Structure 1
Amino acid sequence: MIKLSGFVPYEQIDIKVIGLRPGEKLFEELLNDKAKTLQTHHKKIMRAKDQVLCMEEVNDFVIDIAAAAEQQNNTLVVKKLKELIPEFLSQNSIYEELDKDVKIRT
């Protein structure tokens, strides 16, 4: 970004490495708690083996969510979404209470 701005690093702009900022992550969590990882030829590269829902299950969820939305039942919409995506947590939300009721699919 320094070069894109037309400056020369360490000459026109000093660079200091100061470590992580508050809240900055060292790594991204790409898998859920139920996902399994498999080794590859490289020790730092893993393959994900995750649970897959069949199309019929997804379709049933979509129908239920659409019906709840049509009835303007926001609580049921969020509850169904949490069943479909159990890792999702409502932070600072009126639906935060539903996080305790989530059933994890196995």
Structure 2
Amino acid sequence: MKTIILTLCLWNLLYRYTDAQSADNVPLGPIESFIRTNLIGHPVILKPQTWEFDPDIALRRRKQFIELNGDKGEKLIERIGLGIDGRDQERLLRQRQRDEGHLGGLNYFLP
């Protein structure tokens, strides 16, 4: 009796459910699904991928970046700090008033 139950349980685990629409789209059984997704890897991951990559594009865009954001990105950092809510000019004036007369905006070196 135990062998029959064990056989039925194993057969149930290994059973493939058939799809009436097409033979290509057959769902996997639980064990095969576990092995494929956890041990071997999902088929989508194993497909070869191709990407168009141009290693010289940074050299061509460097001049544009420097004009827009400054040599080391100082204008970019300043713009990020000003926010995007439309009050960037007000904040810029307050920051320049605050930093006036200081060495790069640092108060550490002043008495």
Q: Which TM-score band applies after superposition, normalised by the shorter structure?
A: under 0.3
Higher relative contact order structure (alpha carbons within 8 Å, sequence separation ≥ 6): 1
TM-score (normalizing by structure 2): 0.23
TM-score (normalizing by structure 1): 0.23
Larger gyration radius, structure 1 or structure 2: 2
